[in-house]
Structure formats: C-alpha cells, structure tokens
Structure 1
Amino acid sequence: MHRTREVIVVGGGLIGSLVAFTLRQAGADVLVLDADRRGVAWRAAAGLLTPDGERLRGPLHVAALESLRRWPALVAQLERSGVPVSFRAGVARMQPGGGVQTTPGEGSLHPPSVVRAARQALEVVTEHVHALVPGGCGMRVRTAAGDWRAQRVVLAAGAWSGAFGVPVTAQRGQALLLRDVPDVGARYGPPARGFSRYALSRPDGLYIGATSSRSESVTPDPRAACWLRGVARRIVPEANGADVAAHLVGLRPVTPDGLPLVAPHPTLPGVFVATGHGRHGALLAPVTAARIVGLMEQGVSA
C-alpha cells in the first residue's frame, strides 16, 4: 500500500470529509484516516442551516452567512456521486406569541448522507491516529497499523482533537429520531433553559433536538429522552406517542471561546486545524473547507 500522500486528513466526519472532498476537487492527492469512534458528532447532528435560528452574532454570524451561500453549489457537487443529501430550503421559527417566522435562504440537510456522498470521491482508511510527528519533508502520521507520511496534514478529529495539542473538549448532545410521523419540514421552537428546541423531517425519521451537557459519555440518558419527548409534544403535536427509532448521542467539539479553530496548528508546521465547531458543524462546513484550501494555496504554515 502506498503510504505517502500529499495531504492526509485526520478525521472523516462532516468537517473532515468535506475538507478532503474540497481539496480533492482542487486537485490534491488526499487520504482520510478515520478512527470510526462511537459518539462522533456527525452521526447525531441535525443538519439545520440556520444562522438566525442559532442566534449567531459577530464574526461567527458572518462566517455562517457565507457558508450558507456556499451550500447549494456544494450540494450539487456532492450529489454527482449519486447519493442525495436531502437539502431542503425553509426553516419555520415559532414565536412566543404563537406566530411563525421564516428567514429566506435557511434550510436543512442530512449529515450522514453528506458524509457518504463526500466519501464516494475519497480514499478513506479506518485507522486510529496516535501522533503527528514532524520529520524530513512533511509529517509522520503514526497509527496502530504503522506510519503514513504526508506533505501536509489537516486535523479534523472533532472532540478528540485535543489529543493533538489544541484546546478542544467534548460537549455531549442528544436527540431523538421518531418514526412514522408526517413530514413537517423544519421547525424551531422558542428556546427553553438555554437549549434550542427544534424538529425536522429527514429520510431516517423526525429528528427532535437537542440537549447539551459537559460530558464525554456516549450512553443515552433517559432524562434527556423525557425532555426531548416534551419538545416533540410542543413543536410537533402530531408526533405525540410516535415510536422512537433511535436515541442519538454525539460529542460536539468545543473551544474555550466557542469559536471554531480553522488555522495552522500552533506548534506543528504543515498541520492545519479544522475543528471546534460545536453545534454548528453542518452550517460552517463549506466555509471551513474553503478556508483550509485557501491557507494551503497561500503556503501558510505555523
């Protein structure tokens, strides 16, 4: 097996796969090494593309709007693989007084399908990366099955990125998938206790989200399930009593200031970081991928 690549992306989730896909579209020789861990965020992500619904402000809001503008073209590229990503326009936000507001341009998609579509064009190897070691021309990427070499590395290991010298920790999010519920589109309810409450129809069921807690456990919490059932009753009354298809648990990667890390690694030359997106990974993925490509084209390093 050829164990040298131009670019190795560590982590094949939503961010890692789309960064690798964008680099591949730009002509780079790319390999994705993915540990396939339990609790990865993309398997539990909602897929809402709603800067206003998430109440983003400042630079994060600007980046989200730019990313939102990029999504339709990226969807078209992804779906050439033959895998539909269920991109839908429109998100309704329920107001405290009972009204409904819709912001033009917002929408939703299905994160697991996005990852599958992106991977159709990529070489993905299931490997747990233990270390990134500078050496010679480029980086040595150490795995349990031996070393790989790359001129440049993108660190997109989600909540596990902290093991490679960046300030990222895990924040647990939980959601429910309900089966046999009529299509309701995407709906946001008024926030409760600081949590966003939303429901959206997807190919795998009605998604109800979402909780947030400082925990690294990937075991479903019955108390979270009870709270999410209450969200469903409030936002989608017709879902009351629907069977649970899955209780989803994902570990979101978060930073101390709540802002994503999309930059050269602070100490490892030739390594670029794309992680720390918290609950906004699906929304910010296109602009993150474009930023990484831009940094590499500029020859920026630590």
Structure 2
Amino acid sequence: MTAREVIVVGGGLIGSLVAFTLRRAGADVLVLDAGRRGAAWRAAGGLLTPDGERLRGTPLEPDALAGLRHWPGLARDLETASGQPVFFREGVRRLKASGGEACTPGEASLHPPSVVRAARQTVQVVAAQVVGLDPVRGGVWVRAAAGEWHAQTVVLAAGAWSGAFGLPVTAVQGQALLLDSPAEVGALYGPLTRGFPPYALSRPDGVYVGATSRPSWATTPDPHATRWLLGVARQLVPEVKTPVQTRLVGLRPVTPDGLPLVAPHPGLPGVVVAAGHGRHGALLAPVTAARVLALVGAGVPA
C-alpha cells in the first residue's frame, strides 16, 4: 500500500499530459494505465485544427483556440523534459468542394504516440487496471489487481472506460490506415461531404489516412472501413501507392452533449474527471491539463 499525492488513472494522451503538467507544478504523481487495446491515442491522427474540425461557433471553440495557442510551447517543454521529439509542425491545408484550398495560420499536427511516450518519461507509470475508487477521509483508495494505492487526489482520465466509474462516457470507434511510405504529403483535409471530412498527413511512422466514426466498442478492423479509407487515400494522396502498414482502431470517449468532462466527480469526493474529449483530445489537452491543475489546487505545492 503506497500513498501518493496525485494518482492519474489512465496514461493516454489526456492522462499523460495531465500527469506531466502536475509533475512540473511540483506534485508527487503516479500514473496507473491499463494498457487497453483500442485506447484512442494509439490510433489518433494528431491534427490540431479548430477550422478543419469545424469547431468555430461551437461551445468548444474557445478551448480549441486556446489549445492551439499553447501547443508550440507545450511541445517544446515535452521535448526538453524527455529528450524525445513529438513531431509538432505547423501547416494544415483544407480542400474546398468548389475547388482551391484554405489554411488557417497556426494550425498544426503532431504524433500522439510520441507525445504520450515523452510525457510518460517524466512520471512514474505502473501497468494496472483500476477496478475501484473508494473515497475515504483524507483522500481516495485506488484498487487494482496489481495492488492498492492511497492518494490525496485522483484524476480519472481513463478514456472511453471512464464510464465504468459512474460517468456518462461511452465509445465511438474510429478507424484509420497507416501507409508504409516516406512520402511527404503534409497535412491535408479533403472536401466536406457529410460528417467530418477525411484527411491524410505525413507522420514519422508513415502516411496516416483517416478516419471513420461509428458507435461501437469493437477493437478489430472492419474491412468495409478499410475499403473506404483506401478510397480516401486514392483521392487525397494518389502519389502514395505503397501498401497498408497498419489498420488502426481507437475508441474515442464521448459524452451525450459532445463536451468533455473536466470537473470534480459528481459522486466521488477527491476524484477529478478529465474524460470525454471525443475526436478532439489532442487539441484540447493543454487546456484540460491546466484546468485539472487548477482543480487539484491546494494539493500541489506552491
């Protein structure tokens, strides 16, 4: 039984950046991560595009724009602290259905797996699937098959699986393709037809093409989705003719109103929630981490 100041349940993109931010503020942080198949960050594209994601005029616009402003500095801090690149780079193009293209200055992309690895370099991470959070006087008991821990504060950032702790969070499956190619295609959105536009971008592990969206907990690739994504690849990056390297499947955590939950847990004293970011986790992560730091408040040394 080990006592900690803050325990973060979930070591994905949101959880790891929350832990990184808390640790830099002086907190004693432990991350417990279940390593679940289908974790959203493993399949995420990494586009930081309020306009590409059509967030202008929505309730998420202020946080999306703030996240975009904070990412250049956060990327530098992550790389300095970890010694690892996160592959942040500016420049996102959007094709118009009427022809031509548009871009918004400052919009950018990064590599979510590299962000998670860099953030985890700065904190202790234990492989553990948390099964219970029990508030007690002076903190919270965290129960897992791997052991028990006591913390002054728990941050629940378990992605789609946060719903197991009494929250209105469920999964929307997203699928993408990673093409085995060194081609430089930049970051490109296709024209909008319905829903969200398809996109392609160069990453350090290949050319990423995404993405589908359907309510499902399935973590195996769907051949129908693969065929659709191959059509997207032919449309957006016809010069890339190399084979599919990986079919990626991620479970995006979503809420009924589409807004993230970043607040004290309504039924578990001592637990702060950071979940439900849907397809916007990377873009909103800096604001979420700052908000969690403010909520943890007195638990972090000045």
What TM-score comes out, normalization by structure 1 length? 0.96
Distance 2:58 2:173 in 1: 25
What corresponds to 1:170 in structure 2?
Answer: 171
Aligned residue identity for 1:139: V
Aligned residue identity for 2:19: A
What corresponds to 1:284 in structure 2?
Answer: 284
Distance 1:6 1:82 in 2: 26
The offset of 1:59, in angstroms, is 2.6
- Contact 2:262/2:292 (<8 A) preserved: yes
- Contact 1:75/1:87 (<8 A) preserved: yes
What corresponds to 2:97 in structure 1?
Answer: 96
What corresponds to 1:297 in structure 2?
Answer: 297
Aligned partner of residue 196 in structure 1, secondary structure: coil
Deviations 1:21-43 (A, max 9, x none): 00000000000000000000000
| 173-182 or 191-200: bigger deviation | 191-200
What corresponds to 1:77 in structure 2?
Answer: 77
The offset of 1:181, in angstroms, is 4.7
Deviations 1:116-164 (A, max 9, x none): 0001101000000001001131000000122110000000000000000
Matched-pair identity in %: 69
What corresponds to 1:13 in structure 2?
Answer: 12
Deviations 1:196-225 (A, max 9, x none): 200000000000000000110001001000
What corresponds to 1:157 in structure 2?
Answer: 158
- Contact 2:97/2:192 (<8 A) preserved: no
Aligned partner of residue 292 in structure 1, secondary structure: helix
Aligned partner of residue 239 in structure 2, secondary structure: helix
Aligned partner of residue 189 in structure 2, secondary structure: strand
What corresponds to 1:45 in structure 2?
Answer: 44
- Contact 2:90/2:107 (<8 A) preserved: yes
What corresponds to 1:202 in structure 2?
Answer: 203
What corresponds to 2:61 in structure 1?
Answer: 61
Aligned residue identity for 1:255: T
What corresponds to 1:230 in structure 2?
Answer: 231
What corresponds to 1:121 in structure 2?
Answer: 122
Aligned residue identity for 1:32: V
- Contact 2:53/2:196 (<8 A) preserved: no
Gaps of 5+ in 1: none
The offset of 1:82, in angstroms, is 1.2
- Contact 1:181/1:238 (<8 A) preserved: no
Aligned residue identity for 1:38: R
Deviations 1:251-282 (A, max 9, x none): 00000000000011001111000000000001
Distance 1:23 1:231 in 2: 40
Aligned residue identity for 2:158: A
Aligned length: 297
Q: Which runs of 4+ in 1 moved over 6 A?
A: none
- Contact 2:176/2:208 (<8 A) preserved: yes
Root-mean-square deviation (CA), in Å?
1.1
Distance 1:181 1:242 in 2: 10
The offset of 1:97, in angstroms, is 1.9
Distance 1:33 1:146 in 2: 11
- Contact 1:181/1:242 (<8 A) preserved: no
The offset of 1:298, in angstroms, is 6.2
Distance 1:264 1:298 in 2: 14
Distance 2:93 2:172 in 1: 27
Aligned residue identity for 1:69: R
Gaps of 5+ in 2: none
Distance 2:229 2:285 in 1: 26
What corresponds to 2:192 in structure 1?
Answer: 191
Distance 2:147 2:125 in 1: 16
What TM-score comes out, normalization by structure 2 length? 0.96
Aligned partner of residue 75 in structure 1, secondary structure: helix
What corresponds to 2:274 in structure 1?
Answer: 274
What corresponds to 1:242 in structure 2?
Answer: 242
Distance 2:217 2:123 in 1: 29
- Contact 2:187/2:202 (<8 A) preserved: yes
Distance 2:171 2:193 in 1: 22
